Amino acid sequence: MIGELERQGLGPTGNDFPGDQEPPRLRRAPSRASDRNYPRYDWSADPAEEEDGAGNAEAPPEIRTLPWPMERKRAVRQVQQMRAHVSFGAESWRRNKTKSLRKLQQNVREFLYFFSLWRKSLQKIGGNFGGGVKSYFVFLRFLVVLNFVSFLLIAGFVIAPSLVRRSAGTGGFVNSTDKESCLVYDPNPQGLVVFYEFFLHLLSGTGFMEDSFMFYGYYNNNTAVEDGSLSYNIPLAYLFTAAFYFAFCLCCIIARMGTAARVAVATGGRAIGNYSLIVFTGWDYGCLGDRATKLKQKNIYYRLQVDLEEERIKKRAASLTPWRKVALYTLRVLMFLIALGLIGTAFYGIFEATKFSQENGDRFGILGLFIEYLPSIVITTGNFLVPLLCDQIALLEKYSPSITVVVALLRAVVLRLVSLGILLFTLWSQITCSGDLEKEDCGNCSYNNKKYQCWETSVGQEMYKLTLFDLLVTIALLVLVEFPRRMVVDNWSSKLSQLVGRQEFVVPSNVLGLVYGQTVVWTGALFCPLLPLINTIKFVILFYCKKITLFCNCRPALKTFRSTTSTFFFLVVLLFGWGLALVAMIYSLAVIHPSYACGPFRFFTTMWAIVPNSFYSLSEVTQEFLFFIGSQAFSIPLFALSCVVMCYFIALASIYGRSVAMLKAQLKLEGQDKQFLVKQIEKMKRNNI
Amino acid sequence: MGSTSSQLDKDALSEYQELTFLTKQEIILAHERFSAMLPQEYKGATNIRLPMEKILEMPELKSNPFNKRICHVFSTSQPNDGSLTFEDFLDLLSAFSEAATMEIKSHYAFRIFDSDNDGTLGREDLEKMVTLLTGDSKDTSLNGEEMGQLINNILEESDIDKDGTVNLSEFQHVISRSPDFVSSFKIVL
C-alpha cells in the first residue's frame, strides 16, 4: 500500500509543514510525470517459463503499442530477439508464425493503400471542411463502388450470355397461343425520322435505346444450347441475378453499418456527457491552414455555447407554468399537422402529374418530352420546396437544436421516399388497371395491353428518366445558381448579399439526394439491367461536380454534422430505400403477368413461375434435399437455435454493462480510500512530531 | 552535394517498420521531409536535432494550436526544449498515424493536454486546453462564468474518483466512448 502511494509520486513529506491543508497530490517531489504513466514492462519475464507454467501464454505485447521513445523500444526489441535465440521448440515456432502473420497483414494493408479511390481528395476535403462534409463524400465513394461491382455482376451473368446468344443467331421459339393481340410490339417504328429525334430518344429511352440491351424487352427467353451439352437458362439467370444483386447490396450495407453500429453501442447510446467529449476529442489534427483552424475553433466555440445554452434553456423550460406548457404543446401539434398537410399536398401533386403524363404520353416533340418528364419535375420541385417550408415551421416549434435537426431530416426522408412510392403506385395502377383485371383494357392479357405493349420496358424507361433528370438538375443548379451566387456575393457588396452570403454545403439534403438516386436504381435494375452502370457514371460525375462547387462556392458550415453517427444514419436511410425497392421488385416478380410480346419471361404466368418449372428438372436427390430444407422439420429447430444464440448474446451484453457500472463504483470507493489513508498518514506524522 | 541525402538503409527501414505503426512509404516520405528541413551543411548526418521553430514551419503543424505541446511531448532532449531528432519525428508520426491503436493515441493526447506535466489534468490544464481549443480572439473566447460552468461540467462528467483532477484512466474512459477520436487524432504527411 505504501508502495502504491509512492508509485503515485507521494513520497515522504518530511519537509512539509504539518498544518498544510493542500490536497495530497500537490505535495510530491517534482518528478518526470512520464515515468508514472508509462505501462510497466516486465524485463524479467521469460516467455519460455510462462509457457511451461500456464497452458497458453499470451504473446508479449507488440513493441510499437508501447508509448515509449524509439531508443527504449529498440532496447526492448533487442532483449526480445536475444530471448528468441535462446528459446526453442513450439514457442519460437509460434512467435515466428505471429510475426509472419503481422508482416502479411502489413503488406496487405500497403497493397490496398494503392487501390483506395480518391484518397488524396478526401483528405483535402476533410482538412478544410471537417468530418461531416467528408462523410458525405465517403458515402458517395461507397455507392460508386457498390454500383460498379453490381454492374460487373449483371454483365457477367446476364448481358454477356445474351450477347453470345444473339450472335449465335437462332431466334426464339414462339409458343402458339390464342393471345394474338398481346404479341404486338414494335419498339422501333420506321419511317421518316426528324433530326432531333435521336436526341429525344436518348433522353427518354425510346427508339433505338429501347431496342437495345438497356431494357428488359430486348432479352430473349431461350436457353442457349451449344453443341447440345452446354446450356444456359437466360431467364433463370436474369431472375437470380436480380435477386442476388439485392442480397449483395444488403450485405454490403450491413457490413458497413457493422463498424458504425459497434461504436454506437459501445458509447452506450447516450453520450457520457457532451462537454468532456467535445473538449477532449473535439480537435481535428488533420486541419490544414490558418483559415481551417480558425473555423474549427469557431466551430468548437459554437458547440460549447450551444450546449451551455441548451442547459440553461432546459432549466428554464422545467420551470414553465402549466398554462404555457399547454400552449406550447398545442402549437407543436398544429405545426405538425401543417407539415403533414404540406407533405400530403406534394403527394397528391405527384399522383396527378404521373397520371396525366401516362395518359398523354404519345405527343411528339418538345412538348411530348416535357410531358414525359412531368413526374420527375414535380418530384424535384416538391423535394425542394417542402423542406424549405418545413424549416420555417420548425422555427416556430421551438424544439432544442438537436431535436430540430432530427425532425427535419425525418420529414425530408419521408417526403423523398414516399414520393417515389407514389410514382410507383401510379404506374402500377396504370399498368394493371388498378388491380381490376376484368376491365376491358386489361381483360385480354392481364395487363394494360393498349397502352403498354411491353410494360417492363416502360417502367425501366421511367426509372431511367428519373436518374437522368436528377443528374441534369444537379448540373443545371451548379451552373445556373451556385456559381452566379458566389459571383454576386463576392463582387457586389450590399445588405442583401451580406444577408444571403456564400452558400453552405448542407450535408443531410445532399445525402438524401444520393439515397433517392440509389433507390431509383434499385427499383429499375430489374427492368433496365444497364442502370447500375449509368448510375456509376452519374455518381462519378456528381463527385467531381460537388467537389468543384465545394471548393469554389461554399463556405464551411458553422453547425457541423457529427461524422460517425451520421454515417450510421445515412446507411439506415439507405436501407429504407432498399426496402422500398425490394417491395416493388417482389410485387412485380410475383403478381403482375409478364408481357407477352417481349422479354425473357413471356408465356409464364408470373416471372417467379420459372423457378418451380426449372426446379423439377433438377435431379431427384437435389429436389429432396431442397424440400427438406424448406420443411418444418428443419426450419423450426433452426429458428429455436437462433433464438437461443440471441438470448446468450443479450445476456452477455447486459452482464458487461453491469460490470462496467460496478467497476466505476469500485473506482470511486478506491479514490475515497486513498484520501482517507493519506489523511491518516498526515495525522500519524503530526502525532509523531 | 550531388547525391540524394542519406537514403535509409534496408535494416533501419525494417526496424522502423517494426517499431512504429508507419508503412514503408510513410517512413520514406517522413525521411524525405525531415531531410528537406535540415540545413545544408548537416545533410547526410544522423542524429541531428531540429529545433522546434523549424519543425513548427511544417504546414501540418503550423496552425495547430497544440503544436508546441506536441513537440515538447515527443522530444527526447535533456532540458526539454522541443527539438526533435528523426526518430522522435517518427514516433510523432506513428502516434498520429492511421494504424495506431486507441490506447497509444489516448496516452499521447493525455500528455499533450497535460501542460504542467504533473500526470493529471487539473483545473489550470483544462482551462489552458479550452482556451487553445476555442482560440484567443475576443469573439471566440468564453467569459469567466461560462468557463467556470464548463470546467465544473467536465469534472462532474469525467472525474470518477472525485479528486478534482482527471487522471489517465478516467481520460481514457471518456475517450473510449467517442467514436470520432481515432479518426480525428491523425496527421498524415
**CB < 8 Å to B65, chain A:** 283, 293, 297
Q: Taking 50 as the threshold, does the pLDDT of residue A540 lie above it?
A: yes
Nearest-Cα distance to chain A for B2, in Å, is 31
Distances B87 to A68, B50, B155 between C-alpha atoms, Å: 11, 11, 36
The pairing of beta strand A230-233 with beta strand A223-226: antiparallel
Mean pLDDT of the region A129-140 = 81
Chain A residue nearest residue B76, CA to CA? A69
Q: How far apart are CA B113 and CA B125, in angstroms?
A: 7
**CB < 8 Å to B169, chain A:** 667
**CB < 8 Å to A286, chain B:** 184, 186-188
Give yes or no for a contact between A416 and A383, defined as CB atoms under 8 angstroms apart.
Answer: yes
Nearest-Cα distance to chain A for B71, in Å, is 13
Residue corresponding to grid cell 449465335: A168
pLDDT digits (tens, 9 = 90+) for A549-599: 888 887 766 555 555 566 777 888 899 899 999 998 898 888 888 887 777
Q: Taking 60 as the threshold, does the pLDDT of residue B41 lie above it?
A: yes
Judged by DSSP in three states, A226 sits in strand
Residue A16's φ and ψ, nearest 5 degrees, are: -85, 155
pLDDT digits (tens, 9 = 90+) for A514-534: 998 999 999 998 888 889 999
Q: Taking 80 as the threshold, does the pLDDT of residue A272 lie above it?
A: no
Please check whether residue B56 touches A, CB under 8 A.
no
pLDDT digits (tens, 9 = 90+) for B134-153: 887 777 778 888 888 889 98
Q: Taking 50 as the threshold, does the pLDDT of residue A79 lie above it?
A: yes
Residue corresponding to grid cell 508514472: A36
Residue A230's φ and ψ, nearest 5 degrees, are: -100, 120
Q: How far apart are CA A37 and CA A43, in angstroms?
A: 17
Give yes or no for a contact between A154 and A532, defined as CB atoms under 8 angstroms apart.
Answer: yes
Between A183 and B114, where is the model more confident? B114
Cross-strand pairs, A223: A233
Those of residues 644-683 in A touching chain B at CB distance below 8 A are 664, 667-668, 670-672, 674-675
Give yes or no for a contact between B150 and B142, defined as CB atoms under 8 angstroms apart.
Answer: yes
Q: How far apart are CA B21 and CA A65, in angstroms?
A: 8
Read off the pLDDT band of A537 (50, 70, 90): very high
Give yes or no for a contact between A245 and A259, defined as CB atoms under 8 angstroms apart.
Answer: no
Q: pLDDT over 90 for what percent of chain A?
A: 11
Please check whether residue B135 touches A, CB under 8 A.
yes
Q: How far apart are CA A533 and CA A516, in angstroms?
A: 17
CA A579 to chain centre: 13
What residues contact residue A346 under an 8 Å CB cut-off, 6+ apart?
A382, A385, A386, A415, A419
Q: What is the tally of helices (H) and strands (E) in chain A?
A: 25, 4
Residue B82 class from Cβ within 10 Å (0-12 exposed, 13-18 middle, 19+ buried)? buried
Mean pLDDT of the region A231-235 = 77
Residue A592: enclosing H or E segment and its boundaries?
Answer: none
Q: Which of A110-119, A625-634, B122-131 has the largest mean confidence?
A: B122-131
Transcribe A533-584 into DSSP letters: HHHHHHHHHHHHHHHHHHHHHEE--SS---HHHHHHHHHHHHHHHHHHHHHH
Q: pLDDT over 70 for what percent of chain A?
A: 78
- Give the range among A471-480, B3-12, B164-173 with minimum mean pLDDT: B3-12
Read off the pLDDT band of B6 (50, 70, 90): low
Q: Which of A13-22, A167-176, A663-672 has the largest mean confidence?
A: A663-672
Mean pLDDT of the region B5-31 = 84
Chain A residue nearest residue B118, CA to CA? A33
Mean pLDDT of the region A354-359 = 79
The pLDDT assigned to A23 comes to 41
Residue A33: which of B64, B99, B118 has the nearest Cβ? B118
Domains and CATH numbers, chain B: 5-95 (1.10.238.10), 102-184 (1.10.238.10)
Tell if the CB–CB gap between A279 and B126 is shorter than 8 Å.
yes
Q: Which of A314-318, A377-381, B31-35 has the largest mean confidence?
A: B31-35
Give yes or no for a contact between B27 and B90, defined as CB atoms under 8 angstroms apart.
Answer: yes
The pLDDT assigned to A9 comes to 37
Judged by DSSP in three states, B163 sits in coil
The pairing of beta strand A503-504 with beta strand A554-555: parallel
Give yes or no for a contact between A139 and A514, defined as CB atoms under 8 angstroms apart.
Answer: yes
Please check whether residue B58 touches A, CB under 8 A.
no
What residues contact residue A343 under an 8 Å CB cut-off, 6+ apart?
A386, A411, A414, A415, A418
Those of residues 267-286 in A touching chain B at CB distance below 8 A are 267-268, 271-273, 275-277, 279-286
Q: Taking 70 as the threshold, does the pLDDT of residue A401 lie above it?
A: no
Q: How far apart are CA A512 and CA A514, in angstroms?
A: 5
The pLDDT assigned to A1 comes to 43
Q: In 3D, which of B28, B83, B33, B29 has the Cα closest to residue B58?
A: B33
Please check whether residue B65 touches A, CB under 8 A.
yes
Read off the pLDDT band of A222 (50, 70, 90): low
Judged by DSSP in three states, B166 sits in strand
The pLDDT assigned to A225 comes to 53
Tell if the CB–CB gap between B104 and A308 is shorter than 8 Å.
no
The pLDDT assigned to A596 comes to 78
Q: How far apart are CA A339 and CA A415, in angstroms?
A: 11
Between A444 and A520, where is the model more confident? A520
Q: Taking 60 as the threshold, does the pLDDT of residue A41 lie above it?
A: no
The pLDDT assigned to B61 comes to 87
Mean pLDDT of the region B165-187 = 84
pLDDT digits (tens, 9 = 90+) for A452-468: 778 888 888 888 988 99
The pLDDT assigned to A431 comes to 81
The pLDDT assigned to A494 comes to 76
Q: In 3D, which of A343, A110, A319, A67 has the Cα closest to residue B112?
A: A67
Residue A479, C-alpha cell as written in the block:
451552373
Q: How far apart are CA A86 and CA A379, in angstroms?
A: 75
CA A607 to chain centre: 30
Average pLDDT of every residue of chain A:
76
Q: Which of A404-413, A565-574, A624-633 has the largest mean confidence?
A: A624-633
Tell me the residue type at B158: S
Q: Taking 50 as the threshold, does the pLDDT of residue A55 lie above it?
A: no
Interface A–B counts its CB contacts (< 8 A) at 198
The pLDDT assigned to A168 comes to 61
Residue corresponding to grid cell 487539473: B122
Q: How far apart are CA A197 and CA B51, in angstroms?
A: 71
**CB < 8 Å to B160, chain A:** 664, 667-668, 671
Residue A593, C-alpha cell as written in the block:
403477368
Give yes or no for a contact between A213 and A476, defined as CB atoms under 8 angstroms apart.
Answer: no
**CB < 8 Å to B153, chain A:** 273, 275-276
Read off the pLDDT band of A402 (50, 70, 90): low
Q: How far apart are CA A532 and CA A164, in angstroms?
A: 21
Average pLDDT of every residue of chain B:
84
pLDDT digits (tens, 9 = 90+) for A6-38: 344 333 433 333 333 434 443 334 344 444 445
- Give the range among A175-179, A196-200, A268-272, B145-149 with minimum mean pLDDT: A268-272
Is the C-alpha dihedral spanning A339, A391, A570, A520 positive or negative? positive
pLDDT digits (tens, 9 = 90+) for B92-131: 999 999 888 888 999 999 999 999 888 888 999 999 999 8
Residue A233's φ and ψ, nearest 5 degrees, are: -80, 95
Nearest-Cα distance to chain A for B41, in Å, is 26
Tell me the residue type at A193: V
Between A513 and A305, where is the model more confident? A513
CA A302 to chain centre: 28
Residue A530: enclosing H or E segment and its boundaries?
Answer: none
Mean pLDDT of the region B72-101 = 88
* Helix, strand, coil percentages for chain A (3-state, nearest 5): 70, 0, 25
Judged by DSSP in three states, A141 sits in helix
Q: Taking 90 as the threshold, does the pLDDT of residue A144 lie above it?
A: yes
